[in-house]
Structure 1
Amino acid sequence: MKKIVTIIGVAFASLFMFTGCGYNGIVSQKEAVEQQWANVENQYQKRADLVPNLVATVKGFAKHEEKVFTELAEARSKLGGTVSVDASITDDPEKLAQFQKTQRELGAGLGRLLALTENYPELKSNANFLDLQSQLEGIENRIATERKRYNDAVGAYNKSIQMFPGVITAKMFHFEKKAYFQAEEGTQKAPAVSFD
């Protein structure tokens, strides 16, 4: 009987040490995902903060383009309900998809705003506008970089909770998979180019 109790005790101690190390690793990877999510949000927030300055500059030159300004303001106001430092959005693919949709709407509005410059040559040469446009391009590049880093962190975390021995620890402590950023609809196919 004493031998059985010793074996069970050793098994539990081994299991505790085994899951303790796995637990710490999973927690570290989960934190890396959440930290990277904060970096993504930070870049999106910088873009949202840049919008009023960009709109104000363009408004000075294109007073009768009110429809574009209204659409952009509406897209930015939608972000008020979705841009937050709450990383729980990464646990729900539907919430993350809604976040991406809202960000795409703002991006489309910014695209229409920048397209106005073709109608206003004096705007294209305005130093303030050129500076804001440059800042926006830099932010868009940083958003793409941070999204990739986020997806990399999610991949490492998701793999660790699905592979042995991490899967045991993940099930014991209810670690769930995180959602990835997905490519936008239609980006999987290269556009057809014709020189006819």
Structure 2
Amino acid sequence: MNTSNLILLVIAGVLLFWVVGAYNRLVRLRNEISNAFAQIDVQLKRRHDLIPNLVEVARKYMEHERETLERVTAARAQVMAATDLVKSKPNQPGPILSLGMAEGVLSNAMGRFNAVLESYPELKADQRMRDLGEELVHTENKVAFSRQLFNDASLSYNNAAHQFPTNVVAGLFGFRTAPMLQATSNEAERSAVKVGF
């Protein structure tokens, strides 16, 4: 084996190790996105468990607001369906977009619910309603924090996948841009769901 063949073999070996390292880094970062969405999922499940309790307590007082309560319930179901879709594909933009839109519908429904709630002082005074409201606000804060972790993981992955020379490996192995989970317009206007008490 002559010197030029040995040099080519060493260069090929170094290149192979670099490609394997870049590939493994992209896989790790993509897995961090899935893990970050799992944290969002935990908080969304908690919120989805609270909303029916909130609606049930409100139903006793808000007999004439059936449509508002039904909107909240339907929006909750829509978010749950979108969440299930994202769980199977957390790195795909379509499911993330669907979840963002469903979250917007739920935020609007909860905003309407909170506005109507102002007309029912006896409901606002109900201890169970206050407790549920506080727990919901706490959960919304956790959702916002988890969303930020997800977006940070997506940003790290996207930065790695778009930087040269790793972008060559990303292109060869089909690593696509990861979506960001955006706050809905209602959420951007308010820091958390406020159940007025």
Smaller-chain TM-score range?
Answer: 0.7 to 0.9
Who is 1:178 aligned against?
A: 178
Who is 2:112 aligned against?
A: 112
Who is 2:91 aligned against?
A: 90
The offset of 1:157, in angstroms, is 0.6
Q: How many residues get paired? A: 188
Contact 1:29 1:156 in 2 (8 A): yes
Quote the sequence identity (%): 27
Deviation string for 1:20-49 (max 9, x for gaps)? 222222222111111111111222222122
Contact 1:75 1:109 in 2 (8 A): yes
Give distance in 2, aligned partners of 1:103 and 1:95: 12
The offset of 1:4, in angstroms, is 4.3
Residue segments in structure 2 that go unaligned for 5+ positions in a row: 190-197
The offset of 1:147, in angstroms, is 1.1
Give distance in 2, aligned partners of 1:40 and 1:18: 33
Give distance in 2, aligned partners of 1:8 and 1:27: 28
Contact 1:161 1:175 in 2 (8 A): yes
Report the secondary structure of 1:119's partner residue. coil
Return the TM-score normalized by structure 1: 0.85
Higher alpha-carbon deviation: 159-168 or 124-133: 159-168
Who is 2:164 aligned against?
A: 164
Counterpart code for 1:41: D
Give distance in 2, aligned partners of 1:53 and 1:150: 28
Deviation string for 1:106-155 (max 9, x for gaps)? 12212222223211111111111001000110111111111111111111
The offset of 1:2, in angstroms, is 4.1
Give distance in 1, aligned partners of 2:187 and 2:145: 17
Residue segments in structure 1 that go unaligned for 5+ positions in a row: 190-196
Higher alpha-carbon deviation: 74-83 or 116-125: 74-83
- Are 2:122 and 1:122 aligned? yes
Contact 1:19 1:168 in 2 (8 A): no
Who is 1:65 aligned against?
A: 65
Q: Residue 89 and residue 27 in structure 1: after superposition, are their counterparts in 2 closer, same or farther (change >3 A)?
A: closer
* Residues 27-66 of structure 1: pairs in structure 2 closer than 5 A: 27-66=27-66
Report the secondary structure of 2:91's partner residue. helix
Counterpart code for 2:123: L
Give distance in 1, aligned partners of 2:187 and 2:67: 28
Contact 1:45 1:83 in 2 (8 A): no
Contact 2:48 2:80 in 1 (8 A): no
- Are 2:100 and 1:100 aligned? yes
Contact 2:161 2:177 in 1 (8 A): yes
* Residues 115-154 of structure 1: pairs in structure 2 closer than 5 A: 115-154=115-154
Contact 2:33 2:90 in 1 (8 A): no
Counterpart code for 2:158: N
Counterpart code for 2:35: Q
Counterpart code for 1:22: A
Give distance in 2, aligned partners of 1:153 and 1:55: 34
The offset of 1:169, in angstroms, is 2.2
Give distance in 2, aligned partners of 1:131 and 1:185: 26
Counterpart code for 1:135: E
